[in-house]
Structure formats: C-alpha cells, structure tokens
C-alpha cells in the first residue's frame, strides 16, 4: 500500500525551495502565497450583534492557489502548517486547515524560527497544536481595525472629502506628527551665550574649555551685554588647573537587534526605509543560495525579544576566540533581559550561524542584502564580546571666581567596539575627534589664555520626526507591534496626511484637519495611552489572560456612541468649513478652511453671495496666510470688451485669462478659447462656483457635460445630470444612465453611494477604508 506523502504548507513561495531541499522527497511542500482568506472588501464583514463574528471570504485571485493546495495535499493524512511564527502566520495556518479539512486528516503546527536544516528537521519532528489564542489575538486586532476603518471613514467622506480614511494605529501616528509640528509652531527661541577659552599649558596641544560656573553656581548668560561684561572680567584673569578627575568607564555592548532597533539602525546607518529594511530582512530569513546550498541567514525578523539561545552564544564565543583572542571573549555568555510583556516566542534577530560571515557570503548577496546582513552579524557577535574600557578625563580650570571645564575620552581597550559601533557611537566618536586631545597637566599648573570667544546661541524647537525617531516613539509608547511599524510609516504617507521631505516627516493641511476632527469626535481612537492599552490587551488575549469577546464589547460600547454622535455633530468641512479668524477682504465676513477636490482652500463664509477664495499656506508660527495669485501678462491677448491687455490668472481649477482692468472690467475667458453648449438647468456643484452645467462635445464629437465657467471651473462628467438631490448622500444632482438590463435609470454619481431609483438598492462602500495590520503584507 502506497502512503501519500505528508504536506508541508508555508506562506511564501520563496521558502518552498529551501524547505524541499532540507526535507528531501519524503514530503510535499506548497505555499499559500500569503493570506488566502480575509474579511470582504465591499462590506464591513463583522456581525456586531452576533458576538462580533467575522465573515471570512476567499481573497480575490486566490482560487488557483487553493486548488493547488488541495491538489498538493491529495490523500495525505498529515498536513504540517508552517507559515511564519507570528499572529498573521497563525491566521494563515487556521484558514489553510479549514480549506484542507478532510475526514481522518491530521493537522500539525510547526514553527520555523530560522530556516536551517537542523531547525527545520527539529520543528517537523516536534510539531505543536494550532494555537487558538494566538489566532484569536490576530482576529481581534483585525476586527478592531475593521470597525474603526469602516465606521469612521464614511463619516469623513461625508464631512470632508470622499476617499479619506481613519486607521486605529495610523491615526495615532499622524497625531504624533501633527502635535510635534504644532509644538514647533508654538516654540519661541530664547537667546543665550557661551564663553569658550582656548588655553595652553607648558606643553602643547592647546585645548578648549567652556565657562560653566561663577562663584560656585552654574552660570547663565542671557544676552550679549552680559557676555561682554564677563569677557572683560576674564580677559586679564590668571588661569590655572584647579582639579583633574580621571576614571575608566566600562561600556557594555548593545543587545542583538529587535525589529524596531534594526529598522532604526538601518534607517540611520544604511539610509534604508523601514519597509525596505523588512523586505531585505525577509529575503535573508527565507534563504540565500550560497553556491548550490540554500540557507536562511538570519532568524525570524519580526520580534521584540532580545533573547538568544545558549547554542548561538557558544558558537559566537568560539568565533571570537579564533578571530580576536581570549581577551575579547567572555567566560560565560551574555544574556539580555526583555521588557515587560515582550512576546518571547522568538529570539532576537541574529545570524543562523556566525560562521556565515559577511566576507564569505558577500559573493552571493546583493549590495543591500550584504549591508543589512553585515550589521545584523556584527551586532550579534559584538553582543558576546568583552566590554570596552574608556578613559575619561575632566579638567576644571579656575580664573578668579569663574570655573571652566574641559573633558575628553580615549579608548583604553576597544572590546566590542573593534567590531561594531552603532550610529550613536559613530557620532560620539566624531565629537570626541572634533574636541581634540587634552594635554597632560598637573593640578595647580598655570595656563596661558590664547583666546576668549563669546558666542550667541538660541534654544532649538523639538525636532521633527524621522522614520527612525518615529519608530522609536511608537515603540516607546507601545503603539503597534514589530510587524506593523513599516506598514504604519508607509500608510500615513500613502493616505496623503503627511509628507516625507529629505527624511523628515511633516503633516500637510489634510493631516491637520483630519487629526483635529478625530481628536474632537473620537478622542479615544487617537489617544496614545488608550491605543497602547489596547495593544497590551491583545497580548493578553494571546496569552489567554483576557477574553476577546469582552475586549471587543468594552471597546465598542464607547466607540458606537462616538460614531452615532460624530455622524450628526462632526463639523462639515465641505459645507461650514473650519474657522480661521481671518476677515474676508471683500465683504468682511470670516474666511474659512474648506476641502475641495484639489485639497484644502480658503473661502468666504458668505458664499454664494461672496465668491472670495484663495489657496493658503502657513507661516513659521502656523498662522494661515492667503496666497495671492501671481498675474502674468498674456502676450498678444486683448480684452474684447474694453481693449486692455489680458493677464494669466490662477484659479482653483487651473489657469485662465482675465482683463487687467479688473474690477472695472470683469471679462474672463479660457486660455483655450471659448466654448458654448446647451444648458441642462443644473447649477455647477463645485464649491464656490456660480456656473451652470452645459452639454458640450469633445474634439472627437463625444457628448459630455461641463461647467459653463470653464476654465475657471473644470467640473465635467460623461453622464447627463438631472437637477434632483440624492436622497441618500445629499449630492445636489443625479445622472441619467441606461443599461440593457435595467434600461434608463437615475443614479447618484457620488462614488460609494450607489443610490438608484429602487429605494432598497443601497450598496455598501466598494473599498476598504483602512488596514492597520500586517495582513496586507501577506496577501500578495
């Protein structure tokens, strides 16, 4: 009797080749190519009334993958589920078991923390049961994210602009960036001065010392007048060495990398983005062909643990003894303690074998792979090396009642620093080099003053976030988890709420507007402490300390109330607009911030009686300033009403020609010439426009409908508008549409509304507003 081969299921196609090589012909190996099931895209997919039961559907395009999995399983009695050893991997394992379920078939969960022959063989030899609590934690996070995204986003579509979204974690990150920007706006620099003396003893080198005290008290020099007075007192003073303090400081190496620390270091040292770091790390984990042998070079790269195995530490010690000698090696391994509640399922990120050195693997790695592998390898090996010994010297210099201080350090024994220096170590080394070397001096020795330099300074505002400092801030505040940092940073840019300029995050106007609306209407959702507590609660679900249903009920009890209130009470930026405190220069009423299809702009609250509108910018204090359009002379263009020259003006809908005699002559025309058309009786729906929608023909003769005030307004659509408001979303018009199946019908043209003549045909949103989890990375 022929027994069918057991099936091993992994999530990444890249792993298949590696696993097959290690397991040989005794097993079939297949891939899910990421997630195979998820919540539906066109509906919320959560039965709130039925204990928040999720509705899973096959991800579009995955039918062929499922068929291939079933074919690979065949008549196998044993299926080993080996997706990544984290929550997302657990969800993939559960969904795979559901589609491959068969009478008499047994499912086993195997966790590959590293892809080496030994690790794979041991994992297959000691499988576990599927972890229901880990799956529940992933599912609960997904439900929370879906509730937030699908219930807040439609409110933003109605109140601000279609297509906007809110995410449970990303919105907190955007708020952090906005609050940092407002702290910069509010910052008022304070002047202060320093005084630096350049001194020399009996023998060179000369050295610099900074004034620190007067009369035994810390000195403060607020302005130039004070600095000048101190300079005059010190110019003729006698300088001598009052005290010399020498000490040797022991420097311990850093732990091996966690996910966030790897991202921070790669951003600073290698100029990688967080997403690029994780992509390259995934390649190193899944396996590299080292001249005919495929080897996973690093352990699993999504972890917040600093734990390492005794075996790995022992191997590192052997290599250190061989390469550096006994004085660089430790008598016993150095282990690092984890933070509270850190998930300890995985080790820290380390090489699977220290003998796969960067030098040996270099010929088989790309430039980016080698750069990342090198810092992972060096950081781990350095963590098992001897401490560095640094000699520090501080010299106190007396000058009358004033005291100066000079300090410097030299490396007595490099220890781990001979192999690895972090980005901060490199900066410190450069600073020490810039200060120069201190001379050998004795207490009481006289010094010669070579120069005395007062210098003006100003206090600096808090710095804007870089990718590295934002990851650090998220980690320190407990926002997100290792698997989500790269997704968070990418999503907040893709959603258009922040911009990354020269490596610095800055919020844009939409970011400010959405953050303010969420803070006012959903304070919990964008609260750092609340979000961090929710992350801890998800950890407690995984460790079976908390019931998932109770967590969701507690969250939704408050959240539902907020949603109901926001639907009615959230300020409509489309309609009313946000107050600015700026008077309209035309009519004196308040100018407000509104959002149109081209983004935020200023418009008079007196619209439609007053048509004043402008683009705007913010000054260094965050104050809104209208941007006046620049008018350029249009050569050869003469006003056909008064004979003056025409100028090119910029409106919210592009360039147009206007008479230079405005306001006496208000003649305007298109830069492309005038266009007439048949009226439809429908007013142009664009905010601030007084035109009418008219029937037009394109250059190819096709009928379309556009604003009569083109080019001042570029509103256009293909379907004929009808002056009848949509009863569902309040859109000012419907459109005529004819199909073979339904004939001619009136429909709403607003995306996501879906209203047509049948009153019961309202459809759900056609896209998912937001996703916070790593599910996205595993659906491709």
Give, to the nearest 10 degrees, the angle between helix 528-542 and helix 548-569: 150
Contact 559/147 with Cβ under 8 angstroms?
yes
**How far separated are the first and last CA of the chain, in Å rounded?**
39
Catalytic residue among 56, 239, 300, 612: 300
429 phi, psi to nearest 5 deg: -65, -40
- CA dihedral angle for residue 467, residue 468, residue 473, residue 476, rounded to 10 degrees: 140
> How many Å apart are CA 687 and CA 605, to the nearest integer?
11
Please count the other Cβ atoms lying within 10 Å of the Cβ belonging to residue 14: 16
- CA 573, CA 570: separation in Å to the nearest integer? 9
Q: Contacts from 664-672 at CB under 8 Å and sequence distance 24+?
A: 665/639, 665/641, 667/639, 667/640, 667/641, 667/642, 668/712, 670/710, 670/711, 671/634, 671/711, 672/711
Q: Which residues pair with 46 in a beta bridge?
A: 54
β-pairing, 734-739 with 743-748? antiparallel
The number of residues making up the chain comes to: 780
61 backbone φψ class: left, alpha, beta (φ>0; ψ -120 to 50):
left
Helix (H, G, I), strand (E, B) or coil at 654: strand
Alpha-carbon torsion 730, 733, 739, 741, what sign?
A: positive
* CA–CA gap between residue 288 and residue 372 (Å, rounded): 14
Residue entry with tokens 């795979």: 96
Q: Provide DSSP, 526-592.
A: T-HHHHHHHHHHHHHHHTTSS-HHHHHHHHHHHHHHHHHHHHHHS--TTTT-EEEEEEPTTTSSEEE
Contact 756, 719 (CB under 8 A): no
Phi, psi of 113 (to 5 degrees): -80, -20
User: Which sign does the torsion angle of CA 683, 689, 694, 700 carry?
Assistant: negative
Q: Which tokens in the block code for residue 244?
A: 């010399």
Evaluate the CA torsion angle 156, 159, 161, 163 in order and state its sign: positive
H/E element, 594? strand 590-596
The number of angstroms, rounded, from the C-alpha of 606 to the middle of its chain's C-alpha atoms is 39
The radius of gyration computed from the CA coordinates of the chain, to the nearest angstrom, equals 34
d(CA 476, CA 492): 19
Residue 300 a catalytic site member: yes
Which of these, 166, 154, 140, lies nearest to 53 by C-alpha position? 140
Q: Are strands 191-200 and 207-214 parallel, antiparallel or unpaired?
A: antiparallel
Query: Token pair for residue 203?
Result: 């023998």
Tell me the DSSP string of 386-422: PPEEEEEEEEEEEETTEEEEEEEEEEEE-GGGGT---
Could you give the maximum distance between any two Cα atoms of the chain, in Å?
105
Catalytic residue IDs: 300
């Amino acid at each position: 009797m022929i027994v069918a081969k057991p099936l091993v299921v992994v999530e990444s196609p890249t792993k298949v080749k590696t696993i097959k090589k290690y397991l040989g012909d005794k097993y079939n190996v297949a891939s899910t190519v990421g997630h195979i099931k998820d919540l539906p895209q066109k509906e919320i997919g959560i039965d709130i009334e039925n204990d928040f039961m999720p509705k899973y559907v096959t991800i579009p395009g995955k039918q062929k993958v499922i068929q291939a999995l079933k074919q690979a399983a065949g008549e196998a009695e044993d299926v080993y589920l080996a997706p990544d050893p984290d929550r997302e991997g657990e969800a993939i394992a559960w969904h795979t078991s559901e589609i491959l379920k068969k009478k008499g078939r047994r499912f086993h969960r195997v966790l590959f923390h590293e892809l080496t022959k030994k690790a794979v063989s041991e994992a297959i030899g000691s499988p576990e049961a599927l972890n229901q609590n880990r799956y529940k934690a992933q599912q609960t996070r997904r439900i929370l994210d879906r509730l937030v995204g699908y219930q807040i986003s439609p409110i933003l579509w109605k109140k601000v602009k279609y297509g906007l979204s809110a995410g449970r974690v990303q919105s907190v990150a955007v708020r952090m960036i906005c609050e940092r920007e407002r702290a910069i706006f509010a910052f008022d620099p304070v002047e202060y001065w320093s005084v630096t003396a350049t001194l020399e003893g009996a023998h060179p080198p000369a050295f610099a010392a900074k004034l620190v005290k007067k009369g035994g008290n810390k000195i403060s020099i607020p302005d130039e007048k004070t600095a000048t007075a101190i300079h005059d007192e010190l110019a003729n003073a006698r300088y001598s060495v009052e005290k010399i303090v020498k000490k040797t400081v022991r420097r311990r190496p850093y732990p091996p990398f966690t996910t966030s620390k790897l991202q921070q270091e790669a951003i600073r040292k290698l100029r990688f983005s967080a997403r690029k770091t994780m992509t390259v790390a995934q390649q190193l984990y899944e396996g590299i062909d080292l001249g005919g042998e495929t080897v996973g070079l690093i352990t699993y790269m999504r972890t917040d643990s600093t734990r390492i195995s005794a075996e790995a530490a022992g191997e590192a010690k052997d290599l250190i003894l061989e390469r550096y000698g006994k004085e660089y090696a430790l008598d016993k391994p150095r282990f690092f303690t984890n933070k509270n509640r850190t998930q300890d399922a995985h080790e820290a990120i380390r090489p699977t074998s220290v003998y796969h050195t960067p030098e040996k693997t270099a010929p088989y790695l790309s430039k980016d792979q080698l750069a990342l592998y090198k810092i992972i390898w060096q950081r781990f090996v350095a963590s098992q090396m001897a401490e560095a010994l640094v000699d520090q010297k501080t010299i106190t210099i007396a000058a009358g009642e004033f005291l100066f201080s000079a300090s410097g350090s030299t490396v007595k024994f490099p220890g781990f620093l001979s192999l690895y220096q972090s980005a901060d170590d490199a900066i410190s080394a450069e600073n020490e080099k810039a200060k120069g070397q201190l001379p050998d001096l004795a207490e009481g020795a006289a010094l010669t003053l070579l120069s005395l330099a007062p210098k003006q300074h100003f206090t600096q505002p808090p710095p804007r976030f870089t990718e590295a400092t934002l990851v650090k801030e998220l980690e320190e505040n407990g926002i997100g988890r290792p698997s989500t940092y790269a997704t968070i940073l990418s999503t907040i840019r893709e959603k258009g709420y922040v911009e990354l300029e020269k490596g610095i995050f800055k919020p844009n106007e939409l970011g400010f507007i959405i953050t303010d609306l969420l803070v006012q209407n959903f304070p919990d959702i964008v609260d750092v402490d609340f979000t961090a507590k929710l992350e801890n609660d998800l950890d407690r679900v995984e460790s079976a300390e908390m019931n998932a249903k109770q967590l969701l009920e507690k969250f939704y009890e408050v959240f539902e109330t907020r949603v109901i209130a926001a639907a009615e009470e959230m300020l409509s930026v489309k309609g009313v607009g946000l107050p600015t405190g700026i008077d309209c220069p035309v009519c004196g009423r308040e100018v407000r911030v509104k959002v149109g299809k081209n983004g935020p702009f200023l418009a008079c609250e007196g619209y439609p009686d007053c048509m004043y509108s402008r683009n705007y910018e913010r000054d260094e204090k965050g104050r809104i300033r209208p941007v006046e359009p620049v008018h350029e002379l249009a050569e050869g263009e003469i006003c056909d009403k008064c004979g003056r020259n025409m100028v090119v003006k910029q409106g919210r809908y592009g360039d147009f020609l206007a008479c230079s005699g405005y306001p006496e002559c208000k003649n305007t025309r298109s830069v492309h010439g005038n266009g007439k058309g048949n009226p439809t009786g429908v007013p142009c729906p664009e905010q601030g426009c007084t035109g009418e929608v008219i029937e037009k023909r394109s250059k190819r003769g096709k009928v379309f409908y556009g604003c009569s005030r083109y080019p001042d307004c570029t509103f256009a659509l293909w379907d004929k508008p009808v002056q009848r408001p949509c009863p569902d979303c309040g859109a000012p018009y419907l459109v005529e549409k004819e199909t073979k199946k339904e004939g001619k019908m009136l429909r709403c043209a607003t995306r996501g509304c879906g209203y047509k003549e049948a009153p019961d045909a309202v459809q759900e949103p056609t896209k998912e507003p937001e996703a916070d989890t790593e599910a996205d990375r595993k659906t491709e």
